[in-house]
Amino acid sequence: MADLPKSAKHLVIGAGVHGLATAWFLAEAGEDVLVVDKDRVAAGASGIACGVIRNNYFQPAMQELMAACVEIWESDPEAFSYHGTGYIALGPPAQEEELAQVFERQQRIGYDSELHTGEAEVAAHMKAMFGDWRAEGLTACLHEHVGGFAFNQESMHGLADKARAAGAAIAEGVEVTGFDSDASGSVTAVQTSAGPIEVEQVVIAVGPWVASLWEMLDLPDSIDVHHPDGSVEKDKPMWTYWYLQEGEVSLPPATLNTDDGSEPPVLHVDSHAPLRADDGTVLTEEPWGIYVKPDRESVQGGAAPLTVGPEFEVDPYPTGTVDPKFPDEWCAALSHCLSRFEGCRESYVQVRSGGAGAFTADNFPVFDRMRDNVYVAADSNHGYKMIAVGKEIAAELQGGHSTLLAPFRFERFATGRLHPVSQSPYPWS
């Protein structure tokens, strides 16, 4: 690229949600910032993310960060293609205690939600919106009245537009191939397919591609993880890849509307009930979970991710369903919950969705300086919804301190200050 700048005060690697948001807030503050991406805006994980924006997290630090994220999504719904429809999490008795704890913390931070418990109360709440609701055995319902979903491609291009309007430059088709460092370990230049770029600060925000740049910086591929009880997991892989199961049924988005014609909240259902096809065939008696929301021209959703291990080929970025059972089970789960989805298996379509996520050693993000002038945003596949991370990183790069990002420092693995772990029988929850 002939016109690629030879230097940049802030070089951001990755044109997904974290990279673009960081560039936007840096540029708004008058900083010189250049974003490079080896492909294009929204070409990776952010561009095929499910788009769900919610605060159903057991961990207090995640809840506080997500509350800040929702504020940004709601600040410009049109630009971000954001639909503030809310989010509903439903579960059986095994989920009651944790959903109640999540609800209590949401109330403490002023996050608008309501909790219903008891099978009759939950059913009544759902039937008031969806007259054909028929899922059984659900005794907890956490209804978040903020959050919702955004369309992935549109939202990332809207974020890129904001970054450019504020003065950031975005160079597409520029791949990072290495880092030049001085004796202190600070990066002095970033080597790219279009030539070297001298830098003062680097931000790495590349989603599931993080392992390759992590290796370029000579950072460890395995670490010791210290737990609050004093136990230590030795040589745990820094990265574990999960494949995300998502799909669509080619029905009009309004198929999911509430009875009064309103756009529906995102629905997330965890269940212990046997899952049957419409003809009564038992598909599984294992616990299952799904989410479902409207998409541009269809109804989209997903289910449990599949663990694939510490190494995974992300080029070309994988797409489509990998488990042959997924279409049958996801469509059956839709019909289990809402009679309007009987027969929807015939409408299932393979689409570019899901993809792979790189999870950290404890499955929570790492947002930290990994060298004096290199900030890494490793979102552990929580990324798309966390649009406020870029704002917090930008503040830190200008000398500030982020209380929201502090709990996500890399040092937690050595100090034992890990996030509390949910005891849910549903690992994706």
Burial of 301 (0-12, 13-18, 19+ CB in 10 A): buried
**C-alpha distances in Å from residue 50, one per residue of 37, 269, 354:** 21, 16, 7
Task: Flag whether 250 is in a domain.
Answer: no
**Which tens digits make up the pLDDT trace of 6-40?**
999 999 999 999 999 999 999 999 999 999 999 99
> What one-letter code names the amino acid at 110?
G
Task: Flag whether 161 is in a domain.
Answer: yes
Task: Flag whether 205 is in a domain.
Answer: yes
Domains in the chain, number:
1
pLDDT bin (cut points 50, 70, 90) of residue 2 is: very low
- Here the tokens at position 9 are 């005060």
What is the number of helices (H) and of strands (E) in the chain? 10, 26
In degrees and rounded to multiples of 5, residue 318 shows phi and psi of -70, 150
Asked if 105 and 150 touch (Cβ cutoff 8 Å), the reply is: no
**Which tens digits make up the pLDDT trace of 251-263?**
999 999 999 999 9
Please report, rounded to a whole number, the percentage of residues in the chain having pLDDT higher than 70.
99
**Which tens digits make up the pLDDT trace of 103-121?**
999 999 999 999 999 999 9
**Which tens digits make up the pLDDT trace of 197-239?**
999 999 999 999 999 999 999 999 999 999 999 999 999 999 9
261: left (phi over 0), alpha (psi -120 to 50) or beta: left
Q: Which tops the pLDDT comparison, 48 or 172?
A: 172
Q: Is the pLDDT of residue 93 over 80?
A: yes
pLDDT bin (cut points 50, 70, 90) of residue 324 is: confident
pLDDT bin (cut points 50, 70, 90) of residue 311 is: confident
Task: Flag whether 326 is in a domain.
Answer: no
Nearest to 422 by CA among 364, 366, 382, 365: 364
Task: Flag whether 315 is in a domain.
Answer: no
Residue 329, helix vs strand vs coil: helix
pLDDT bin (cut points 50, 70, 90) of residue 318 is: confident
Can you give the residue range of the structural domain that contains 213? 1-85+147-234+362-429
Nearest to 247 by CA among 345, 148, 346, 327: 327
pLDDT of residue 249: 94
pTM over 0.85: yes
**Which tens digits make up the pLDDT trace of 398-425?**
999 999 999 999 999 999 999 988 888 8
Residue 46, helix vs strand vs coil: helix
**C-alpha distances in Å from residue 372, one per residue of 85, 200, 201:** 41, 10, 9
In degrees and rounded to multiples of 5, residue 261 shows phi and psi of 90, 5
CATH of the domain at 13: 3.50.50.60
d(CA 72, CA 202): 24
> What one-letter code names the amino acid at 352?
R
Task: Flag whether 66 is in a domain.
Answer: yes
pLDDT of residue 1: 44
Task: Flag whether 98 is in a domain.
Answer: no
Task: Flag whether 135 is in a domain.
Answer: no
Asked if 63 and 28 touch (Cβ cutoff 8 Å), the reply is: no
